[in-house]
A and B are shown apart, each in its own frame.
Chain A
Amino acid sequence: MKKPLLFTTSIASVASALALAASQALAATAYVSNEKDNSLSLIDLDTMKVVKTIPVGQRPRGIIFNKDYSRLYICASDDDTVQVMDTATHKIIGELPSGEDPEQFALHPDDRRLYISNEDDALVTVVDTLTKTVIAQIDVGVEPEGVGISPDGSLAINTSETTSMLHWIDTETNEVVHNTRVDQRPRHVEFSHDGKQLWASSEIGGSVAVIDVASKEITKKLKFKIRGIHPDKIQPVGVKITDDGRYAFVALGPANHVAVIDAKSLQVLDYLLVGRRVWHMTFNTDQSLLLTTNGMSSDVSVIDVNRLKVIKSIKVGRYPWGVVVKP
């Protein structure tokens, strides 16, 4: 009698272990940095629930995965460091010399060079993540914030908020080769998948500049209008463009809406109501979902990209800032 029972139990445990492994392998996880909780919230994108909260350094803002998702880089702004987390164990395994007050960054396609904005020092620090050394520090305008790297890796673009400029950095020489003046307080830059367009949001200017990368000229300035919301409260921050070039999404901050834009005709199609003070966004792996961080309501809204509908809001920690998805 005993033997079969044991056998069944072990089968069951193996099965459940397998099931667990399978679900871990299948379910994508969203990592959300909580600026005022010094933590990350992990959301299981199958169940749409927070499954884990991990304490990290002080004032975590920008977060980004390496190419194979084995590491997560975290800007711990008030600790003046970039933390490196092992995503298998969720342990902090090291720190990178980021310069002071790192806020946002971008990883070069070579999977090694991190371009980090040092908000308080008007610098962009380039760090080699392998040797953990600073390769270069580049003088930029006051309060550097957004960083974007062209898909071919040749250009890094940095926004400086107080200077209201985009600085075009040649990644070969790490020198500023061009500056583009945009509206007040540029926050974020995003390249289109083909690298031909650069989108730059201006928070206080209330606009998004669409720039032709080849000529470095602004081809169109998008403005937004939502009935019942004062124009001053429409403050574009995060921008995401689908890889197929169909839609662009712009997070409008205290307007509590995400604008949906036809990325080809550059016409605004719709405004989706999300949580309060929406800043940054990310797609899931197949780009069927878009997640937004809503700082003031401390939640994440989930948008169904095909139906252009908000389908869920998920409570996370205080003042969620960045969000990335691991498949």
Chain B
Amino acid sequence: MAVVAHFLSRPVLLAYCLLLTSVMANANQEIPIGYLELQQQRPPLLSNVLPEPEDSGLQGARLGLADNNGAGRFVGQHFSLLEARLDNIDALLKQADDWQQQGIKLLVANMPAAQLEQLSMHFSGTDTLIFNAGSPEDNLRHSRCLNNVLHTLPSRAMLTDALTQWLMAKRLKHWLLIEGQRPNDKAYAAALRRSAKRFGAKIVASKEWTFDSDLRRTAQAELPLFTQTKEYDVVVVADELGDFGEYVLYNTWYPRPVVGTQGLKPVSWHRVVEQWGAAQLQTRFEKMATRWMTDGDYAAWLAIRSIGEAVAQQESSEAGALRGWLLGEQFQLAGYKGRSLNYRPWSGQLRQPIPLVHSRALISQSPQEGYLHPTTDLDTLGYDRPESKCRIAEHTAGAN
């Protein structure tokens, strides 16, 4: 608790302490949750003017915890968060083992796909339930199925499908695709190619960004020539870390919009999302963390809130029972996106609308009107049941 308390302002802290005492008074169900984050070195980037917050994810988890306890205190449930943020996976696994000893079987993981798979394997054969709040990797949703993992972060395919639906609605069908050299950029570009094929867009030219000059000084000279290809309606960029993408805007050979990882972006969360009560979540978050809420924060918040709602709806905190409930049809979670959210029973992916934003405004939200689906139009985003090999709801968490 002390960890949570140190960054709170005094009146809030006071309120928090009061809350804590009232919780102590009637708590009879303890629900501890472990937060595991693999801290990574960020490579040097060209557009490094506005750095990402270092505690992205963690603060979202903390807010989720506060929100859970806001409800739990009325019914004698108390949630707590144990935090481990380390720079190697072995140490994290050891921490998770220690927690396991203490009976902590609900974990929120903020780490890349490879380490997440390690974590998932490590706990195979147990009823530990892991929430993926850090990896958008598509193959975790369609082929490398993890029975003990639910995904609150949208997959890349969900993001690029959301973007592509909007592009098709705008009749921006001819694309110039520019991709970076990092594996994540390649994965994002692959997701874009899949979306193009799925919704009928044409990639008229495809280029890889290989330059190593400092674009802040030379973008004006380099990019017009680089984007001088067969004519396109739109430039689609795959540059997840923001190395060169920011400089493509306003520098293209043809005066065309830029979308993808820069320009108009499909995101799971952003400061400009304010409808459907989202303004309240943003305010709560900013009060607590004194910064804006990122998509990583939102994914961790969703994970903790999923646990909170499942415990409240199910009146059990046993990991196996919770998993069954979360993957069932009865589960509902309000996520400030104007819809009730729930999990796909095949892949464990949380269904959710995807906002399309630029830095100062929400432009649209997908699924777009007219994209229909026999179950829910949210399943027009990402890997649908027939496209995925996963059937995790048919197995137990421990099966592998």
Contact = CB atoms under 8 A, between A and B. Distances in A.
B253 interface: no
B334 interface: yes
Interface string B328-350: 00001110001110000000000
B67 A142 contact: yes
DSSP class of A's interface residues: helix, strand, loop or mixed? loop
Contact of B70 (A120, A122, A183, A235): A122
Given A143-B277, A204-B334, A230-B377, A165 B71 contact: yes
B338 to A, nearest CB: 7
A243 B287 CA distance: 43
A142 B334 contact: no
Question: B18, B67, B277, B287 — which one has the most chain A CB atoms within 10 A of its CB?
Answer: B277
A206 B71 contact: no
Nearest to B69: A142
B23 to A, nearest CB: 11
B7 interface: no
A162 interface: yes
Contacts, number: 69
A165 B339 contact: no
A79 interface: no
B277 A163 contact: no
Contacts of B376: 230, 232
A176 interface: yes
Interface string A200-244: 000111100000000000000000000000101001000000000
B296 to A, nearest CB: 20
A206 B376 CA distance: 15
Interface in B60-76: 66-67, 70-71, 74-75
Interface string A242-259: 000000000000100000
A161 B277 contact: yes
A61 to B, nearest CB: 12
Contacts of A60: none
Given A181-B312, A205-B332, A142 B71 contact: yes
A185 interface: yes
B277 A179 contact: no
B197 interface: no
B181 to A, nearest CB: 40
Given A185-B277, A232-B340, A176 B74 contact: yes
B71 A141 contact: yes
Interface in B150-179: none
B48 interface: no
A66 interface: no
B320 to A, nearest CB: 23
B228 interface: no
19 contacts: A120-B283, A139-B18, A139-B22, A142-B67, A161-B277, A161-B334, A162-B71, A162-B334, A163-B67, A164-B312, A165-B74, A181-B75, A181-B312, A184-B332, A184-B334, A184-B340, A203-B334, A205-B332, A205-B340
Given A139-B19, A161-B280, A205-B332, 17 more contacts: A139-B22, A142-B66, A143-B277, A143-B280, A160-B71, A162-B70, A163-B67, A164-B71, A164-B309, A164-B334, A165-B74, A176-B74, A185-B334, A205-B340, A206-B340, A232-B376, A254-B338
Interface of B: 15, 18-19, 22, 66-67, 70-71, 74-75, 277, 280, 283-284, 287, 309, 312, 332-334, 338-340, 376-377
User: Across chains A and B, which 10 residue pairs bring their CB atoms closest together, nearest first?
Assistant: A142-B70, A163-B71, A204-B334, A184-B334, A179-B74, A185-B334, A232-B339, A204-B340, A142-B67, A184-B332
